[in-house]
Amino acid sequence: MPACRYCGQETGGSAFCQNCGAKVEEQPVIPSPIPTINQSPVSPEQFPPMPSQNAPYTIPTMPNFYTPGGAGGILAGNIIALILGVITCCFIVPIISIIVAIIGIVFASKVKNSSNAAEEKSNRTIALVMMLLAFAFVIIGTVLFVVGVYQQYGGFEEFWEYVSEKVEEAETSRRSKIAFGMLAKRFF
């Protein structure tokens, strides 16, 4: 039986090593020369010995392939954190949450392609930590926004009045620029 060229374990005739999971590549068969009339006959010593009748028979087993689980919940959580970070990106703290959520998305997508349990656990843990950090930054950013509104304007009603005034000023300024442009076109 062929042995794994990586760990030396016998493969039992399977396509993959049962010990390390490496693909067993067949050794190239070197054809023996065709005997001619002038060659001597083959003697029994030239053949490998047959296994004895008393040797235990081993049943070949299927190799244990590692199939990682999905990271759907963690991936979805990081995407939600990213969206919330984009919605609340008025301050620097939610922008940090966007970066952290993107890192979490990258590691959550690596979970499905993990080659072993340790790598899957590492990717899953990093993705989970990044998701939690992203949500924490979104919450901190939202709290800082609310506190800032109350400190600066005394509440949300005053804040919306201020925003409405600024929008109205911008609209008036835009209208006057349009009117001036039309007037300038007429005379020039």
The predicted pLDDT at position 134 comes to 86
Res. 50: pLDDT tops 80 = no
Average pLDDT over every residue of 141-152: 85
- What does pLDDT average to over the chain? 75
| Neighbour count for residue 105 (Cβ, 10 Å) | 23
Is 84:107 a contact under the CB 8 Å cutoff? no
The predicted pLDDT at position 57 comes to 61
Give the per-residue SS3 of the chain: CCECCCCCCECCCCCECCCCCCECCCCCCCCCCCCCCCCCCCCHHHCCCCCCCCCCCCCCCCCCCCCCCCCHHHHHHHHHHHHHHHHCCCCHHHHHHHHHHHHHHHHHHHHCCCCCHHHHHHHHHHHHHHHHHHHHHHHHHHHHHHHHHHHHHCCHHHHHHHHHHHHHHHHHHHHHHHHHHHHHHHHC
What's the pLDDT tens digit per position in 74-119? 888 888 888 877 777 666 677 788 888 888 888 888 887 777 888 8
Using 50, 70 and 90 to split pLDDT, how confident is the model at 180? low
Residues present in the chain in total: 188
